[in-house]
Amino acid sequence: MQRKIGKFLQHLHVERAASPHTLKSYREDLETLVEYFQDNQGQCPDPGSLTSVQLRGYLSALHDAGYAKASIARKLASLRSFYRYGQREDWVDSNPAKALRNPRKAKKLPHFLGTSEISKLLGAPSGDTPMGLRDRAILETLYSAGLRVSELVDLGDTDIDFPQGIVRVRGKGRKERLAPLGSYAARALKRWLKNRILSSKLPAGSAAPVFVNRFGTRLTSRSVGRMLEKYLSLTGLDGRTSPHTLRHSFATHLLDQGADIRSVQELLGHKSLETTQIYTHVSTSNLRAAYEKAHPRAK
């Protein structure tokens, strides 16, 4: 089992250019399967011999152990991918995970900030210091382009096209898309780039990272999260807010202002329209609240 898992992860890394985060998730999901069989049978059988019934028992054990439905669904998706690879490599005839049903997930509305809250947050960083200029540029860019934080920290100088008002983004699976860059974000970025100090340790000739730390090296996603926590404390905004909240806010505000859902899907880089549709629930609830407040015979 461990040998086949290792080869599967290598396949994801080399042939599918999976990110370190994706590889870590697959590894953890499959190690949970190994641990289940080791705990219950003393050893893990060869994956080619496992049946749908045995895998269903594994998923049931995850449910009994208190795993969230979303976590169980992700582990099942990892199993399906693992066995599809096994079919390609001829160590299994059929995919025993294919027939298993995903647990029904309760749809959770994404947390987002209102437009006044967004303005308060984006105005919080000081414009008098290089780090303040950087932080404002980060927040403006996250909201303006609807980026994931991993996409933001991956940006290089050559990914920004100021004349066109766009940034080139590498999303999940290294899939590229073009994202819009509003005038506020463009101004904030230009001010930051004039004050940025790059480390001499960066490889010669490489595209410089747009966002760096005080030592001049590329910023990490965790550092962006810590930076945001500082400004949430300063402004008194909802502590549930994360860098991804700005992406949620981007999508919600576009739909509230009449953008069509397929355009928002493209801007977010969602593969499936179903993923984007969660924001229509938020938008509809806002419309309902506005209707009940304004219409004389709404209640």
Which two tokens mark 229? 């926590």
Pick the catalytic residue: 4, 75, 136, 148? Answer: 148
- 279's CB contacts (< 8 A; 6+ apart) are 110, 248, 251, 252, 255, 261, 264
Does 279 participate in catalysis according to the annotation? yes
Pick the catalytic residue: 13, 27, 56, 244? Answer: 244
Which two tokens mark 199? 């480390």
Pick the catalytic residue: 83, 85, 231, 279? Answer: 279
Pick the catalytic residue: 136, 247, 248, 253? Answer: 247
Pick the catalytic residue: 172, 177, 184, 191? Answer: 172
Does 247 participate in catalysis according to the annotation? yes
The total number of residues shown for the chain amounts to 299
Does 244 participate in catalysis according to the annotation? yes
Residue with tokens 């893990």: 44
Calpha distance 142→66 (Å, rounded):
34
Does 226 participate in catalysis according to the annotation? no
* Active-site amino acid positions: 148, 172, 244, 247, 270, 279
